[in-house]
């Protein structure tokens, strides 16, 4: 694999979890990773609560947008090294063909956008999703990618999704 590694986070709507993961990895992995996010059925707009959560964590939100995964199977798309699904529905869908055969894993996170209730409950759901993604991305960043054989690396990224 070449540096920087290209990572795509997938979800159905690409409005919350995948966008937060994109922002976290682009911040924490700057120079080593370029993160993207997309959805099978993008909502077209980031959830304001996701943007608020990122801003409160001190992460930039400019440029984040809800987009289709079709952008990443197009001829001029970046060659992906890793593709992580962060919602259960996207994990069950038939994904496009990703050129270059990136490593894939499912890192399911409960959907904070599905929470209904008081604003504090909704904010807590977004904070909880952010915390899980942040921890998993931290574990991913600690892997010695250049020295792990593919089968060991696949085992490690699958294990991160279960953490």
- Using omega within 30 degrees of 0 as the cis cutoff, is the peptide bond preceding 51 cis? no
Rounded average pLDDT over 93-100: 69
d(CA 83, CA 68): 14
Asked whether residue 94 carries a pLDDT value surpassing 90, the answer given is no
Q: For residue 11, how many C-alpha atoms fall within 13 Å in the half-sphere facing its CB?
A: 27
End-to-end CA distance of the chain, in Å? 25
> What pLDDT is attached to residue 92?
63
Give the residue numbers annotated as catalytic, written as ranges.
11, 87, 95
Taking residues 63-69, report their average pLDDT. Answer: 94
Instruction: Map out the domains of the chain with their CATH numbers.
Output: 5-154 (3.40.50.2300)
For residue 84, pLDDT beyond 90: yes
Q: How many CB atoms sit inside 10 A of residue 60's CB? A: 11
In the predicted structure, residue 98 carries a pLDDT above the cut 80: no
Q: Which of 88, 98, 97, 102 is nearest to 157 (CA)?
A: 102
Helices 48-56 + 17-28 axis angle, to 10: 30
pLDDT at position 146 is 85
pTM for the complete prediction? 0.92
3-state secondary structure of 86: coil
pLDDT given for residue 100 in this prediction:
77
């Amino acid at each position: 694999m070449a540096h920087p590694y290209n990572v795509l986070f997938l979800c159905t709507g690409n409005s919350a979890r995948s966008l937060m993961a994109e922002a976290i990895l682009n911040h924490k992995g700057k120079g080593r990773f370029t993160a993207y996010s997309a959805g099978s059925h993008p909502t077209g707009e980031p959830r304001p609560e996701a943007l608020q959560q990122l801003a409160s964590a001190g992460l930039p939100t400019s440029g984040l947008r809800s987009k289709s995964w079709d952008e990443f199977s197009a001829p001029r798309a970046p060659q992906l090294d890793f593709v992580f699904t962060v919602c259960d529905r996207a994990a069950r869908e038939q994904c496009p063909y990703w050129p270059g055969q990136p490593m894939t894993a499912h890192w399911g996170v409960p959907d904070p956008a599905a929470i209904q209730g008081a604003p504090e409950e909704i904010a807590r759901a977004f904070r909880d999703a952010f915390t899980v993604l942040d921890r998993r991305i931290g574990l991913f960043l600690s892997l010695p990618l250049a020295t792990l054989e593919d089968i060991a690396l696949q085992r490690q990224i699958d294990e991160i999704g279960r953490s």
